[in-house]
Amino acid sequence: MIFLKLREHKEYIQEAASWFQSKWDIPKEEYLKSMYESLLKGTTIPQWYIMLKDNSIIGGLGVIENDFHDRKDLTPNICALYVNEKYRRQGIAGHMLKQVCDDMKSLGVKRLYLVTEHTEFYEKYDWSFLCMVQEENEPNTLRMYSINLD
Among residues 147, 144, 146, the alpha carbon closest in space to that of 118 is found at: 144
In the predicted structure, residue 150 carries a pLDDT above the cut 90: no
Residue 116 falls within a domain, yes or no? no
Residue 39 falls within a domain, yes or no? yes
Residue 90 falls within a domain, yes or no? yes
Euclidean distance between CA atoms 125 and 85, whole angstroms: 20
Residue 103 falls within a domain, yes or no? yes
Task: Give how many domains the chain has, as a whole number.
Answer: 1
What's the chain's Rg over C-alpha atoms? Answer: 15
pLDDT digits (tens, 9 = 90+) for 10-36: 999 999 999 999 999 899 999 999 999
| Residue 89's pLDDT band (cuts 50, 70, 90) | very high
Residue 118 falls within a domain, yes or no? no
By the 8 A CB rule, do 65 and 45 touch? Answer: yes
What is the span of the domain harbouring residue 37? 2-110
Residue 133 falls within a domain, yes or no? no
| Residue 134's pLDDT band (cuts 50, 70, 90) | confident
Residue 19 C-beta-side C-alpha neighbours within 13 Å:
23
| Residue 120's pLDDT band (cuts 50, 70, 90) | confident
Euclidean distance between CA atoms 74 and 85, whole angstroms: 30
Residue 22 falls within a domain, yes or no? yes
Residue 121 falls within a domain, yes or no? no
CATH of the domain at 105: 3.40.630.30
